[in-house]
């Protein structure tokens, strides 16, 4: 809650730093040649004639009721606009998140099987995937799968086929990051004394991995999930734009280009909210997966 | 002896990693109901031996032997699948510290049940019954509750019992115990040793791996002494301890401080300490005094009193031993004395003047008079500084007339001058502890607080460091506040002893009277449970 | 002790291997050298004018004459990639410098400034973390307007909280370390402890952070250019080149693939170098 308030305050005052008259921005920028009366009218409509402190409190008050203001450019309530857009982004982010976890699990399990070749290859794949920028990966995927092979559509306007390329674009770099963390923990865990104990009990290699090591390896990856979702949302800005897919990211970029302040503020607040919720969920998930955390808290 | 009585037969066992031999030509037998111990210091190859017997020597290892038979079965050509059938059902393994040797994320009931599940076709219900009876047989109170707990939720002694239960779940004829009591307090160690003796009496053959001769003498029938991957000497435990034939074994036995009178050198033929150092004058002035120290930490149930009304005084030239088990508050006392933590109540006096009550700014010039040596000396050195810089920095704090050069300091602690250029990281554990002693000496202190100074060292190195501390004390008239969990070390080093339990000093007095005629029941139990070398044949 | 036995046995051969750089490290160093030459003396690597328009040679695929092909105006992609190195690297390095400097200020304030300041800075960092990735950068651009300079600033600002958190953690860790405590016990003063122990030990890892950070900053800056918010075409900057080539992706893949490849290789090279620096300094202690 504190973080949300701080984010709202920070954005509110930050956008006051924008040079130029917000009223002019509403009317389409300094080039609009609007008359003084129209400007005054706009100022009254948007509450821009009030003192800054009052404007701030008004904005906070509206925020509490879920009112994010009205878009300068589109002249519709921001809340409605975002409500219509958030679904697409969440579907994309969750799909990418799931795919990334699956890839990371398979990759890290495979690369720690013991052969030196698999280890270096796995490391190379992780390193490369984590280094791939979304915008380039998207372009290359379009070039290969849409333009050259024609398997998948280059624009994502709905339908499962359109979701594939954006999901893969977002998932591959994330999988690289997750797999790195998982592989390192997996290697550490496989050296742990309790693994020796389990082997000495007659446990098989598969049992060691499934019953013991995998759970340990997923702990750091789980705690990274909050960060990962933020990463996906910020990646969505690029990916949605390239694949012309409706969603928060594309809306945000358009708003940034048009300097449509209420929308930018709205998206930022929404992203912060998602991040905060994710942090809470992640903490809960970590505690569920790791009883040691529960005890540490009880002991505090 | 009938060949079938031998449970385990090992002949010519050699293990190497990437061409480097760590175990060479090792041969021994273990019979049913017999405990054979392998004793050695770190790097002797004893743990690798234990793991090779389970086919778990690890990646990159090459294990060869002319004979490796368990209960008459040849294991030399065993495949991984064969080994899995043997592990758990034929040989069990108990490692050091169950906190990390049992999966911290899984309840112990599941961990123990795994062994049952892997080697039998019991129903879930039967397996559960088996786990419960196993836990009861290793002396776990309330097994019904324990099976749902994880290793971190149990005390050190109980989780070690759970680990043993998981190793003997299928009643294997052979049990390998690798340092099974090393991380435990003496009183708990004694109970675990009793449990192992009980397992042995049921007919299980035990191979005990340990660095501690006293532990070995408590339970083993026969001993193999290992050094650098080879067996130096072997034989019946009592005979070997009473009449060691080899020089190395003699050194090992001499190095154990337990029951060796104060000022006796632990390294035979080492630099001689004046045979009769004058006993410190009982009326000598107190150089350091603690009065009613209290330190609390927040805890769920109000404030936890880590140190509770602790008072003692350290006279000039004497050693005061502070002994206690883990969690007794002895390290917190050290931090209070060094003014690294602030006491909630009470104060520390240095030479009759205030020390803990001073403002940090005023205390700083006095600080050099109280030196410190820590257990983990490596982390007490700035990783970027060479030995020379470390010592020079410290001696700059000594009074100008009284400064020693780096060379003199190194010489005083028996290190070659060539060490000056090295980083502590590149020195051995014993050398590091000597550097840390030299650093403490450099500032010309009157008191040195020694917090578990030898606990991380091998026994022969420990002996050298203890001898060095003893000699420095006599030469320089130092006073030591000597903190340790090891009763043998404390008794050997101290003139007077204070016994701590749960933040309080329960008994204090002359070392001899406290150990020979303990007044407090807790001290009595400590003394009784401390393992001793049994010499009498 | 059991663990130690195994490790000393296994580690005996390791140091010799560590001293020699691996194939990956050599490649990474080689690529960074290439980038440096491309920045300082682009003419040494390419003799073709990166902005020379030759309409007749438009859209040529990679060939011996044009290694990476030509773009819609017949400009040589290879020489443009080389020419763009300085811009892209400059943006990456300055953004990292800004982020690191800000992070250092925040981290030091939190690490040394007492409890109140630590709390405040920590909360600030926490709040800034709620703006995931590019979002903070986008906010800066809304305020300051698009362009290469604001893009640099935006990337720098949005990476600062990450640096601040790491630096703070490092300082707090060192401040409570056993060697700082033992210096206090000896009676060394706070100023001496700060300059002799804390700062040198805290600053050494910054080099690693910076190395790892440059790769990330280059990617982010390129992403902003790609979105039309940083450097603008026809400037020979990698992100801008990619953006310009996007239109022709179906017919002339080389317009986008090669500038993108440079970004990817830069990131990989800095990551490899950063990690090997970490490993080597860890091996030293």
Domains of chain B: 3-254 (3.40.50.300)
Residues in chain A: 300
Residue B424 has pLDDT above 50, yes or no: yes
- pLDDT band at B496, cuts 50/70/90? very high
Q: What is the pLDDT along chain A (300 residues), one digit of tens a residue?
A: 677 777 777 777 777 766 666 666 666 655 556 677 777 777 777 667 777 777 777 777 777 777 777 777 777 888 888 888 888 888 899 999 999 999 999 998 888 877 778 888 888 888 888 888 888 888 888 888 887 777 777 776 667 778 888 999 999 999 988 888 888 888 888 888 899 999 998 888 888 888 888 888 888 888 888 888 888 888 888 888 888 888 888 888 888 888 777 888 888 888 888 888 888 888 888 888 888 777 766 544
For all residues of chain B together, what is the average pLDDT?
A: 88
User: Is C274 among the domain residues?
Assistant: yes
Per-residue model confidence (pLDDT) at position B2 = 46
Last residue in a domain, options A37, A64, A91: A64
User: Is C86 among the domain residues?
Assistant: yes
Structural domain of C98: 34-39+52-284
Sort out which chain B residues have CB atoms less than 8 A from A300's CB and list them.
300
Number of independent structural domains in chain A = 2
Per-residue model confidence (pLDDT) at position A300 = 40
Q: Judge contact between A73 and A208, C-beta under 8 A.
A: no
Which of the pair, A29 or B121, is modelled with greater confidence? B121
> What's the mean pLDDT in C230-235?
74
Contacts of A233 (CB under 8 A, 6+ apart): A89, A93, A248, A249, A271, A274, C132, C133, C135
Beta bridge partners of B378: none
Using CA atoms, how far apart are residues A141 and B169, in angstroms rounded to an integer?
55
User: Is A71 among the domain residues?
Assistant: no
Sort out which chain C residues have CB atoms less than 8 A from A147's CB and list them.
249-250
Contacts of B516 (CB under 8 A, 6+ apart): none
pLDDT tens digits for C133-164? Answer: 778 888 888 888 788 888 888 888 888 888 88
Using CA atoms, how far apart are residues B334 and B311, in angstroms rounded to an integer?
13
Per-residue model confidence (pLDDT) at position C4 = 23
Which of the pair, B325 or C50, is modelled with greater confidence? B325
pTM: 0.81
Do A142 and A219 fall within a single domain? yes
Closest CA to A85 of A225, A237, A235: A237
Q: State both tokens at B529.
A: 């449970």
User: Is A47 among the domain residues?
Assistant: yes
- pLDDT band at C10, cuts 50/70/90? very low
User: Is A69 among the domain residues?
Assistant: no
CA distances to A23, A49, A70 from A54, in Å = 17, 10, 18
Cα dihedral B199, B204, B208, B214 in deg (nearest 10):
50
Do A37 and A83 fall within a single domain? no
pLDDT tens digits for B185-220? Answer: 888 888 899 999 999 999 999 999 999 888 898 899
N-terminal to C-terminal alpha carbon distance within chain C: 21
Do A14 and A129 fall within a single domain? no
User: Is A72 among the domain residues?
Assistant: no
User: Is C10 among the domain residues?
Assistant: no
Q: Judge contact between B62 and B56, C-beta under 8 A.
A: no
Tell me which of B259-268, B385-394, C191-200 is least confident: B259-268
Do A131 and A31 fall within a single domain? no
DSSP state of A21: -
Q: Judge contact between B435 and B390, C-beta under 8 A.
A: yes
What number of other Cβ atoms are within 10 A of residue B353's Cβ? 9
Do A208 and A236 fall within a single domain? yes
Do A46 and A169 fall within a single domain? no
Percentage of chain C modeled with pLDDT above 90: 6
Do A104 and A191 fall within a single domain? yes
User: Is A153 among the domain residues?
Assistant: yes
> Is the peptide bond prior to C252 cis by the omega test (within 30 degrees of 0)?
no
> What's the mean pLDDT in B101-126?
88
Percentage of chain B modeled with pLDDT above 90: 46
Do A283 and A160 fall within a single domain? yes
Per-residue model confidence (pLDDT) at position C115 = 82
Using CA atoms, how far apart are residues B417 and B438, in angstroms rounded to an integer?
12
User: Is C57 among the domain residues?
Assistant: yes
The CATH number that applies at residue C251 is 1.10.3720.10
DSSP state of B372: E
Which of the pair, B350 or A291, is modelled with greater confidence? B350
SS3 per-residue string spanning A250-289: HHHHHHHHHCCHHHHHHHHHHHHHHHHHHHHHHHHHHHHH
Do A228 and A197 fall within a single domain? yes
| Burial profile B127-151: b = 16 or more Cβ within 10 angstroms, e = fewer | bbebbbebbebbbbeebeebbebbb
Sort out which chain B residues have CB atoms less than 8 A from C198's CB and list them.
none
Structural domain of A140: 79-299
Chains near B, with 3+ CB pairs < 8 A? A, C
Residue B66 has pLDDT above 70, yes or no: yes
Residue C7 has pLDDT above 60, yes or no: no
- B167 to chain A nearest CA, in Å? 7
Per-residue model confidence (pLDDT) at position A26 = 66
Residue B412 has pLDDT above 70, yes or no: yes
Residue B271 has pLDDT above 70, yes or no: no
- pLDDT band at B537, cuts 50/70/90? very low
Q: Which residues of B have a CB under 8 Å from any CB of A? A: 51, 54, 56, 59, 84-89, 91-93, 95-97, 100-106, 111, 114-115, 118-119, 150, 152-153, 163, 166-167, 169, 299-300
User: Is A20 among the domain residues?
Assistant: yes
> What's the mean pLDDT in B440-464?
91
Q: Most C CBs within 10 Å: which of B339, B356, B383, B396, as the mutation test of the C interface? A: B383
Sort out which chain A residues have CB atoms less than 8 A from B91's CB and list them.
200
Per-residue model confidence (pLDDT) at position B176 = 94
Number of independent structural domains in chain C = 1
Tell me which of A65-74, A119-128, B66-75, B258-267 is least confident: A65-74
> What's the mean pLDDT in B389-402?
89
> What's the mean pLDDT in B508-527?
91
CA distances to A67, B187, B327, B529 from B190, in Å = 70, 5, 18, 6
User: Is A70 among the domain residues?
Assistant: no
Q: State both tokens at A3.
A: 């973080």
Residue B282 has pLDDT above 70, yes or no: no
User: Is C82 among the domain residues?
Assistant: yes
Q: Judge contact between B18 and C13, C-beta under 8 A.
A: yes
- C166 to chain B nearest CA, in Å? 20
Percentage of chain B modeled with pLDDT above 70: 96
User: What is the DSSP annotation of B433-492?
Assistant: HHHHHHHHHHT--SEEEEESTTTTS-HHHHHHHHHHHHHHHHHHT-EEEEEES-HHHHHH
State which H helix or E strand residue B308 sits in: strand B303-315
The CATH number that applies at residue A258 is 1.10.3720.10
Question: Using CB atoms and an 8 Å cut-off, which of residues 43-82 of chain A contact chain B?
Answer: none
Per-residue model confidence (pLDDT) at position B333 = 94
Q: Judge contact between A202 and B80, C-beta under 8 A.
A: no
Do A43 and A95 fall within a single domain? no
User: Is A74 among the domain residues?
Assistant: no
Does C253 contact A143 at a Cβ distance shorter than 8 Å?
Answer: yes
User: Is C173 among the domain residues?
Assistant: yes
Residue B90 has pLDDT above 60, yes or no: yes
Does B96 contact C1 at a Cβ distance shorter than 8 Å?
Answer: yes
Do A109 and A255 fall within a single domain? yes
């Amino acid at each position: 809650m504190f973080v949300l308030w701080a984010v709202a305050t920070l954005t509110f005052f930050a956008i006051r730093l924008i040079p130029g008259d917000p009223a002019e921005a509403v009317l389409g920028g300094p080039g609009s040649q609007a008359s003084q009366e129209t400007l005054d009218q706009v100022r009254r409509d948007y509450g821009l004639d009030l003192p800054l402190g009052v404007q701030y409190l008004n904005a906070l008050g509206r925020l509490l009721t879920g009112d994010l203001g009205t878009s300068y450019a589109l002249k519709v309530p921001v809340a409605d606009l975002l409500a219509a857009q958030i679904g697409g982004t969440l579907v994309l982010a969750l799909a990418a998140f799931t795919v990334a976890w699956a890839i990371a699990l398979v990759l890290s399990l495979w690369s720690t099987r013991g052969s030196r070749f698999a280890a270096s290859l796995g490391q190379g794949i992780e390193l490369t995937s984590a280094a791939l920028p979304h915008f380039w990966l998207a372009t290359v995927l379009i070039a290969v799968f849409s333009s050259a092979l024609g398997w998948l559509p280059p624009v994502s306007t709905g339908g499962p086929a359109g979701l594939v390329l954006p999901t893969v674009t977002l998932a591959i770099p994330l999988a690289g990051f997750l797999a790195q963390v998982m592989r390192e923990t997996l290697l550490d865990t496989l050296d742990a004394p309790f693994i020796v104990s389990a082997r000495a009990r007659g446990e098989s290699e598969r049992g060691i991995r499934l019953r013991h090591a995998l759970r340990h390896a997923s702990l750091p990856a789980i705690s990274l999930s909050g960060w990962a979702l933020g990463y996906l949302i910020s990646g969505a800005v690029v990916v949605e734009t390239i694949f012309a897919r409706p969603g928060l990211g594309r809306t945000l970029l358009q708003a940034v280009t048009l300097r449509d302040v209420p929308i930018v503020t709205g998206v930022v607040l929404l992203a912060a909210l998602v991040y905060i919720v994710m942090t809470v969920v992640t903490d809960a998930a970590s505690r569920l997966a790791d009883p040691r955390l529960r005890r540490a808290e009880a002991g505090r | 002896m009938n060949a079938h009585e031998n449970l385990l037969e090992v002949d010519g066992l050699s293990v190497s990693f990437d061409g480097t031999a760590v175990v060479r030509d090792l041969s021994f037998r273990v019979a049913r109901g017999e405990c054979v111990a392998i004793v050695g210091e770190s790097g002797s190859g004893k743990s690798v031996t234990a793991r090779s017997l389970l086919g778990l020597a690890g990646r990159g290892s090459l294990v060869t032997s002319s004979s490796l038979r368990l209960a008459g079965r040849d294991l030399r050509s065993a495949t991984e699948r064969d080994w899995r059938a043997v592990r758990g059902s034929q040989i069990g393994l108990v490692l050091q510290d169950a906190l990390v040797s049992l999966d911290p994320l899984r309840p112990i009931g599941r961990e123990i049940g795994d062994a049952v599940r892997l080697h039998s076709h019991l129903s879930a219900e039967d397996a559960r019954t088996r786990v419960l009876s196993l836990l009861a047989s290793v002396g776990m109170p309330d097994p019904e509750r324990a099976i749902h707990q994880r290793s971190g939720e149990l005390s050190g002694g109980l989780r070690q019992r759970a680990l043993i239960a998981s190793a003997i779940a299928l009643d294997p004829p052979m049990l390998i115990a690798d340092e099974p009591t090393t991380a435990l307090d003496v009183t708990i160690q004694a109970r675990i040793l009793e449990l192992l003796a009980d397992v042995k009496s049921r007919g299980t053959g035990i191979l005990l791996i340990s660095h501690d001769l006293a532990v070995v003498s408590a339970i083993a029938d026969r001993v193999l002494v290992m050094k650098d991957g080879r067996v130096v000497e072997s034989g019946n435990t009592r005979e070997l301890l009473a009449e060691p034939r080899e020089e190395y074994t003699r050194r090992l036995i001499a190095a154990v401080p337990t029951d060796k009178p104060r000022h006796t050198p632990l390294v035979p033929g080492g630099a001689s300490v004046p045979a009769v150092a004058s006993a410190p004058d009982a009326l000598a002035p107190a150089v350091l005094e603690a009065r009613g120290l209290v330190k609390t930490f927040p805890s769920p149930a109000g404030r936890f009193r880590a140190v509770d009304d602790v008072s003692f005084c350290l006279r000039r030239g004497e050693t005061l031993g502070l002994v206690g088990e883990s969690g007794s508050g002895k390290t917190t006392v050290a931090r209070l004395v060094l003014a690294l933590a602030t006491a909630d109540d009470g104060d520390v006096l240095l030479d009759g003047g205030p020390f803990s009550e001073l403002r940090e700014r005023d205390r700083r010039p006095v600080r050099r008079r109280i030196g410190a040596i820590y257990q983990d000396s490596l982390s007490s050195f700035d990783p970027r500084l060479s030995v020379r810089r470390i010592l020079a920095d410290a001696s700059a704090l000594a009074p100008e007339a009284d400064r020693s050069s780096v060379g003199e300091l190194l010489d005083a602690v028996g290190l070659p001058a060539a060490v000056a250029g090295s980083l502590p990281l590149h020195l051995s554990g014993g050398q590091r502890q000597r550097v840390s002693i030299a650093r403490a000496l450099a500032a010309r202190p009157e008191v040195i607080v020694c917090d578990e100074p030898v606990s991380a060292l091998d026994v022969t190195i420990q002996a050298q460091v203890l001898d060095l501390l003893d000699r420095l004390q006599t030469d320089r008239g130092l006073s030591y506040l000597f903190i340790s969990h090891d009763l043998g070390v404390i008794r050997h080093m101290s003139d007077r002893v204070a016994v701590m339990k749960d933040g309080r000093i329960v008994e204090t007095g002359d070392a001899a009277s406290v150990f020979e005629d303990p007044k407090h029941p807790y001290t009595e139990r400590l003394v009784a449970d401390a393992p001793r070398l049994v010499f009498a044949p | 002790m059991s663990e130690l036995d195994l490790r000393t046995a296994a580690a005996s051969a390791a140091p010799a291997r560590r001293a020699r750089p691996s194939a990956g490290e050599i490649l990474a160093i080689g690529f960074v050298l290439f980038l440096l030459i491309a920045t300082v003396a682009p003419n040494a690597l390419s003799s073709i004018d990166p902005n020379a328009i030759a309409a007749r040679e438009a859209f040529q695929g990679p060939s011996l004459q044009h290694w990476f092909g030509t773009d819609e105006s017949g400009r040589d992609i290879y020489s443009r990639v080389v020419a763009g190195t300085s811009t892209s690297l400059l943006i990456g390095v300055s953004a990292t410098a800004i982020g690191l400097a800000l992070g250092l200020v925040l981290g030091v304030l939190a690490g040394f400034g007492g409890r109140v300041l630590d709390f405040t800075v920590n909360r600030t960092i926490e709040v800034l973390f709620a703006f995931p990735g590019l979002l903070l950068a986008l906010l800066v651009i809304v305020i300051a307007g698009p362009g290469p300079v604001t893009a640099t600033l935006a990337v720098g600002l949005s990476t600062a909280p990450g640096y601040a958190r790491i630096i703070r953690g490092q300082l707090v860790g060192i401040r409570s370390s056993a060697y700082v405590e033992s210096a206090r016990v000896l009676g060394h003063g706070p100023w001496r402890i700060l300059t002799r122990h804390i700062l040198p030990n805290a600053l050494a890892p910054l080099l690693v952070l910076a190395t790892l950070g440059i790769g990330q900053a280059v990617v982010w800056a390129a992403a902003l250019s790609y979105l039309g918010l940083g450097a603008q075409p026809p400037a020979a900057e990698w992100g801008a080149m990619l953006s310009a080539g996007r239109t022709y992706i179906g017919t002339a893949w080389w317009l986008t693939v090669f500038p993108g490849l440079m970004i990817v290789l830069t990131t990989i090279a800095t990551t490899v170098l950063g990690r090997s620096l970490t490993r080597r300094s860890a091996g030293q202690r």
